[in-house]
Structure formats: C-alpha cells, structure tokens
C-alpha cells in the first residue's frame, strides 16, 4: 500500500514538474493579442483588472508574510480596488517592502511565469497559480473577494484537469501575457490620478511617507519593473 502510494505521488510529481512541448509561434502571438484585447479597451479593462488586483493584493500579502508581519486579511472590491491589512512595525524594511510589492507583483509574477514557460513547464505553472489562489482565498475577508478568487482558482483547476495539452498551453501563455501587459497599465493610471490631485493615499504616497523618497521616484520604480518585466518576459515567450 505504501509503495503504491509513493509511486502514485512520484508519478504525479513527475507529471507536474515535467516539461511539455512549446506551442506554435502563432499560438504565442494570438494569446498576446487576446491579452491586449482585454487590457486596452476601457470596458474590458474594468472587468479584467480584477485579476490584476488579485495579483496586486496577493503581492502585498505574500511579502508581508515573508518579512515577518502578521497578515490579518485581504479585501477585493467591485471597483477593482483592494486592501491588504497586516500587523507589525509601522515603519522599517518589512513595511516598505510590503507597500512596494503591490504594483510590482503582477509584472514580476508574469516574468516568473514566462521563465517557467520558456523551460516548457506549463503544468507546473498552472498548479503553482492554483496553489497561490487557494492560499490567498484563506485570507479573503469579503464576499466579492472570495467570489473573484474562487472563480479564478476554479478556472485554473478546470483547465489543469479537463483541458488537453494544447488548450493548457494556450491558457498558460494568455495568463502570462496578461500579467506582463496588464501589469504596465496600473502605474500609468496611478500617475494620471496623482496628476489630477487624487490617490493621495496610494502605495507611492505611503512609501514616500515611510522613506522620505518622493512619490514620483516610487512611480518610476513601478514603471521600470513593469516595463523591464514585459521586455524580458516577452523575449522568453517569443523565444527570441
């Protein structure tokens, strides 16, 4: 019995961590176009931005835990805003890294996903994304947030278990393109809001109060991370 279970676990791990064939170039290009189609139009972006918010708030939460803070809850709202609450020192490196993790999380997750796809690990990417969503669900503290994360996680589970290799590959590439391309837009939106005198309590402004570094420099960091991630991740996905 034990040897059979061990063999099953070993086989499952080999399947998850193994490599899968790269999709055709046209699939990579079509998935990039599909990602742009839900990012550029304002109406589509109002809906698809919820996924970026999941990654944004998840980044705050993950870094809070990694820096030793106590994560108390995450809320996702229907206007695509979110709130992550953690306890710990109100200043210092842990708080700074936590605050800086939001806008940088989606593009960096996209970059990590592109690295996995560049090595053919499509199944591993899908399973890791599912695991992160399940872990995040435990910390969600409002109904809309729970529904959003459940729908996202359910989509990943459905594709992982029910779809064939070609559909899995197309879905994985679409998700990574979406994180890379969609991770660029929020920093520009924040810049525009601040230019109009809004977003006074944004991540950049909180970081300015924590570090005495001007908000504009933190905005520059957000732009640099998102654009560099897009360039690097895009090269991996296109196999340049």
Tens-digit pLDDT profile for residues 89-134? 999 999 999 999 999 999 999 999 999 999 999 999 999 999 999 9
Helix, strand and coil percent figures for the chain, each rounded to 5? 75, 5, 20
Tell me if 57 sits within 8 A of 74, measured CB to CB. yes
**Residue 142 CB-half CA count within 13 A:** 13
Place of tokens 């176009």: 33
The reported pLDDT for the residue numbered 17 is: 59
Task: Report pLDDT digits (tens) over 127-186.
Answer: 999 999 999 999 999 999 999 999 999 999 999 999 999 999 999 999 999 999 999 999
Q: Where are the domains of the chain?
A: 23-237
Q: What is the pLDDT of residue 200?
A: 74
pLDDT of residue 199: 73
What is the reported pLDDT for 118?
Answer: 95
Token pair 């989606």: residue = 106
pLDDT tier for residue 14 given thresholds of 50, 70 and 90: low
Mean pLDDT of 210-238: 97
pLDDT at 18 over 70: no
The SS3 call for residue 76 is strand
Q: Please give the distance of CA 129 from its chain centroid, rounded to a whole number.
A: 9
- Asked if pLDDT for residue 232 goes beyond 70, the answer is yes
Q: Taking 60 as the threshold, does the pLDDT of residue 1 lie above it?
A: no
Kindly give, in sequence order, each residue whose CB lies less than 8 Å from that of residue 146, ignoring residues fewer than 6 positions away.
Answer: 137, 140
DSSP class of 21: P
142-148 own/partner pairs: CB under 8 Å, 24+ apart: 142/75, 142/76, 142/77, 144/76, 144/77, 144/78, 145/74, 145/75, 145/76, 145/77, 145/82, 148/50, 148/54, 148/76
The pLDDT value given to residue 240: 85
pLDDT of 6 above 80? no
Q: Give the integer Cα–Cα distance in Å for 215 and 192.
A: 13
Q: Which residue has the higher pLDDT, 124 or 20?
A: 124
**pLDDT of 216 over the 70 cut:** yes
- What's the DSSP call for residue 94? H
Residue with the larger pLDDT of the pair 201 and 180? 180
Q: State the pLDDT at residue 21.
A: 83
- Mean pLDDT, the chain, whole residue set: 93
């Amino acid at each position: 019995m034990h040897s059979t279970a061990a063999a099953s676990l070993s086989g499952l791990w080999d399947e998850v961590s193994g490599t899968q064939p790269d999709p055709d170039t046209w699939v990579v290009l079509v998935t990039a176009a599909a990602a742009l189609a839900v990012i550029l139009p304002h109406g589509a972006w109002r809906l698809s931005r919820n996924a970026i918010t999941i990654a944004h708030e998840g980044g705050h939460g993950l870094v809070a835990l990694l820096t030793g803070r106590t994560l108390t809850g995450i809320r996702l709202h229907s206007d695509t805003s979110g709130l992550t609450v953690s306890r710990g020192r109100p200043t210092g490196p842990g708080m700074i890294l936590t605050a800086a993790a939001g806008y940088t999380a989606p593009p960096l997750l996209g970059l990590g996903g592109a690295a996995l796809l560049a090595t053919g690990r499509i199944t591993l990417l899908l399973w890791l994304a599912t695991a992160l969503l399940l872990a995040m669900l435990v910390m969600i503290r409002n109904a809309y947030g729970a529904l959003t994360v459940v729908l996202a996680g359910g989509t990943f589970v459905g594709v992982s278990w029910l779809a064939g290799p070609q559909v899995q590959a197309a879905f994985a590439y679409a998700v990574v393109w979406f994180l890379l391309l969609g991770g660029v837009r929020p920093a520009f939106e924040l810049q525009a809001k601040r230019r109009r005198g809004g977003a006074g309590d944004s991540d950049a402004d909180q970081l300015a109060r924590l570090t005495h570094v001007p908000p504009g420099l933190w905005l520059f960091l957000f732009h640099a991370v998102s654009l560099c991630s897009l360039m690097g991740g895009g090269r991996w996905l296109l196999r340049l």
